[in-house]
Amino acid sequence: MRITGEAAYVLHARPWRETSLLVEVLAQDQGRLGLIARGVQGPKRHVLRAALQPMQHIRLDAVLRGELAQLRSAEALDAAPVLQGDASLASFYVNELVLRLAPRGDALPELFDAYGQVRVDLASDAPLAWTLRRFERDLLEALGFGLVLDADTDGVAIDPAARYRLDPEQGTRRVRHDRGQTDRDTAATGRALLALAQDTQPDGDDLSSLRRTMREVLAYHLGPRGLKSWDMLAELGRLSKPR
């Protein structure tokens, strides 16, 4: 099958054989797509090679044969965001999430749009934590795993002063006061869930509570193998502690 003029975002590229690359993209109509880019390591192919950097927005032509497509051409549609420090690590996390959770060959227009937005937000002054929580919410929704954030499993409206766990199978569950400290520590505040539902950035402590409970949901869908970016963040946290 020929793919012509397909808009896509580059998720990952790695060397393959001597002069080629294996590239993963999130395409507008094809969904997640694996590409073989042959002969891009030569001295005269630097323009094509530059277009295949992670987070680059491209237009491509390819021929799909089996699981992988043969890349015929690709051109950059804009300049990829130049990210440094925490924003660069956040982009690695975003790409890894899409690679692990988005199935190949399924059109996911909502995810394509969400990726385009998070790409803009990562290059802006928007708080990274809020940018990532919004993308996690939109990713889960686009994949059919979205959760109701303004009511619990019994249909009761979320209490801003209470704490809740996001159960991937059953929905939003209120944490009772008699539960252990661990349950309360990994639960999100009701204020945070309502803010996420309304796409309004919560305050610092409430925003922090979203990270823990959203990670639990993502870990469930990822299965026993976690993310390399989570390991990197844990290691950075360990190294930054005073000794």
Tens digit of each residue's pLDDT (9 = 90 or more) over 207-218: 999 998 999 999
Shared domain check, 227 and 151 = yes
pLDDT value at 108 more than 60:
yes
Shared domain check, 132 and 226 = yes
Shared domain check, 129 and 219 = yes
Task: List helix spans (H) across the chain.
Answer: 46-51, 85-101, 109-122, 128-142, 181-185, 190-198, 204-222, 228-240
Tens digit of each residue's pLDDT (9 = 90 or more) over 17-59: 878 899 999 999 999 999 999 877 666 567 788 889 999 999 9
According to the model, what pLDDT value does residue 20 have? 86
Shared domain check, 120 and 19 = no
Tens digit of each residue's pLDDT (9 = 90 or more) over 50-93: 889 999 999 999 999 888 999 999 999 998 899 999 999 999 99
* Residue carrying structure tokens 């390399």: 228
Shared domain check, 132 and 13 = no
According to the model, what pLDDT value does residue 15 have? 86
Which of 76, 106, 134 marks a domain boundary? 76
Q: Is pLDDT larger for residue 183 or for residue 182?
A: 183
According to the model, what pLDDT value does residue 142 have? 97
Shared domain check, 107 and 62 = no
Q: What is the mean pLDDT of the chain?
A: 89
Domain coverage including residue 8: 2-76
According to the model, what pLDDT value does residue 67 have? 86
Shared domain check, 179 and 140 = yes
Shared domain check, 91 and 63 = no
pLDDT value at 202 more than 90:
yes
Question: Considering its fold, how many domains does the chain have in total?
Answer: 2
According to the model, what pLDDT value does residue 178 have? 54
Shared domain check, 166 and 102 = yes
According to the model, what pLDDT value does residue 241 have? 41
**CATH number of the domain enclosing 104:** 1.20.1440.120
pLDDT value at 189 more than 60:
yes
Tens digit of each residue's pLDDT (9 = 90 or more) over 111-158: 999 999 999 999 998 899 999 999 999 999 999 999 999 999 999 999
Alpha-carbon gap, residue 44 to 108, rounded angstroms: 35
Confidence category of residue 233, pLDDT binned at 50, 70, 90:
confident
DSSP conformation letters of 85-122? HHHHHHHHHHHHHHHHHSPBT---HHHHHHHHHHHHHH
Its pTM stands at 0.90
CA-based diameter of the chain, in Å?
Answer: 67
pLDDT value at 179 more than 70:
no
pLDDT value at 235 more than 70:
no
Shared domain check, 234 and 121 = yes
**CATH number of the domain enclosing 30:** 2.40.50.140
Alpha-carbon gap, residue 78 to 55, rounded angstroms: 11
Which of 43, 76, 109 marks a domain boundary? 76
Shared domain check, 181 and 103 = yes
Which of 57, 76, 95 marks a domain boundary? 76
Amino acid identity at 204 = G
